[in-house]
């Protein structure tokens, strides 16, 4: 059992991917389960930084984002996730590249080398690793082709604006991967967001509030579970000094802090009760602040209604390792502008916010 520290907050018609019978189970689940866990019908006031604008050309989501030190941002787009809507059922997923330094950034679709099965590409969480030896950029992408889970390893070719596919990683411990945090050219930590593989089992584990999900360390020579006890383990990120690992647990409404050891094992430092449905995490490389996108209402997210769409929320967590971390609300929208925010990253005074299946925006913070 993990202990929790609570934080007070400061101010600062698509196709459904589950059969009707499973949507019914979801509806029964949400109507009878702990309303606080899913933030059902939570009241909130809208909040927006200056000059928030849509990123032109993103219409099927930017579920995860990772930004290089030079301002080039990688984005996964077109995710088809069980229980969530998607607006382009006949299109495969894609990887996008965005130069955050531009006044009006526009995404470029990254080409992928021949031999990769692009037709079944369904990208989810991503992570980028820069090799200190030669500055090569490796891009790790969680992929769900044909309802399975793989991790695809690419090498970024900047001049060609393309990805060279190096290998497909599969392992029995990587059964339902949501997000990854790269720690080497071929190694990473991964979160599993479900224990069961079949749809009915997945609904059951949520209905019973079973903390069965985990974090796995993967390398070509060793694969092992390093943390467990999560209820829908979601975003994962390394601290800016690479000494700690932060994990978001969606239905625990929390972020867990782990110390990383030389053998890649993790030891828990603390849990922070955010009381939000936290999705992906990003690190401010300058300050070490944790930026997170949250889902305002779990019912709206899994039971999509275009007349009452799921909203978006962005939080900034400062001094996460201290005894008194500070949580600040930066962006809140009821879904009228941005639906189902999933990731929020910052670079040089600019905030970029992506979503599971909708649009993406950028805002000036300074």
Binding residues for Ca(2+): 63-64, 126, 178-179, 234, 279-280
Q: Active-site residue among 25, 124, 295, 347?
A: 124
Is 218:196 a contact under the CB 8 Å cutoff?
no
With tokens 């990731």, the residue in question is 343
Whether 124 is catalytic is: yes
Is 111:163 a contact under the CB 8 Å cutoff?
yes
User: Which residues are annotated binding-site positions?
Assistant: 63-64, 126, 178-179, 234, 279-280
Three-class SS of the chain: CCCCEECCEECCCCEECCCHHHHHHHHHHHHHCCCCCCCCCCCCCCECCCCCEECCCCCCCCCEEEECCCCEEEEEECCCCCCCEECCCCCCCEEEEEECCCCCCCCEECEECCCCCHHHCCEEEEEEEECCCCCCEEEEEEECHHHCCEEEEEEEECCCCEEEEEEEECCCCCCCEEEEEECCCCCEEEEECCCCCCHHHHHHHHHCCCCCEEEEEECCCCEEEEEEEECCEEEEEECCCCCEEEEEEHHHCEEEEEEECCCCCEEEEEEEECCCEEEEEEECCCCCCEEEEEECCHHHHHCCCCCCCCCEEEEEEECCCCCCCEEEEEEEECCCCCCCEEEEEEECCEEEEEECCCCCEEEECC
Active site members: 124
């Amino acid at each position: 059992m993990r202990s929790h520290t609570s934080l007070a907050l400061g101010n600062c018609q698509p196709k459904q991917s589950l059969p009707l019978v499973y949507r019914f189970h979801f509806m029964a689940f949400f109507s009878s389960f702990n309303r606080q866990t899913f933030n059902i019908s939570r009241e909130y006031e809208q909040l927006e930084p200056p000059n928030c604008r849509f990123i032109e050309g993103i219409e099927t989501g930017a579920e995860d984002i990772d930004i290089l030190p030079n301002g080039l941002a990688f984005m996964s787009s077109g995710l088809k996730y069980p229980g969530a809507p998607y607006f382009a059922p006949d299109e495969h997923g894609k990887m996008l590249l965005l130069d955050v330094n531009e006044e009006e950034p526009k995404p470029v679709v990254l080409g992928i080398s021949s031999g990769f099965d692009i037709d079944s590409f369904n990208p989810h969480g991503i992570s980028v690793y820069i090799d200190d030896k030669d500055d090569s950029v490796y891009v790790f992408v969680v992929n769900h082709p044909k309802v399975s889970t793989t991790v695809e390893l690419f090498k970024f070719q900047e001049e060609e604006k393309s990805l060279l596919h190096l290998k497909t990683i599969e392992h029995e411990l990587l059964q339902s991967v949501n997000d990854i945090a790269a720690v080497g050219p071929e190694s990473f930590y991964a979160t599993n967001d479900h224990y069961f593989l079949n749809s009915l089992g997945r609904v059951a584990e949520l209905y019973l509030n079973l903390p069965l999900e985990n974090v796995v360390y993967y390398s070509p020579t060793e694969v092992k579970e390093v943390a467990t006890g999560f209820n829908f383990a979601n975003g994962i990120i390394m601290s800016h000094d690479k000494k700690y690992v932060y994990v978001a647990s969606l239905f625990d409404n929390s972020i867990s802090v782990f110390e990383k050891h030389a053998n890649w094992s993790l030891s828990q430092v603390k849990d922070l009760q955010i009381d939000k449905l936290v999705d992906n995490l990003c690190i401010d490389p300058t300050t070490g602040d944790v930026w997170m996108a949250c889902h305002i209402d779990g019912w709206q997210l899994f039971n999509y209604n275009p007349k009452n769409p799921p909203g978006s929320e962005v939080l900034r967590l400062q001094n996460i390792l201290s005894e008194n971390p500070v949580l600040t609300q930066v962006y809140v929208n009821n879904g009228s502008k941005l639906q189902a925010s999933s990731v929020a990253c910052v670079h040089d005074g600019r905030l970029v916010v992506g979503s599971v299946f909708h649009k993406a925006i950028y805002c000036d913070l300074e």
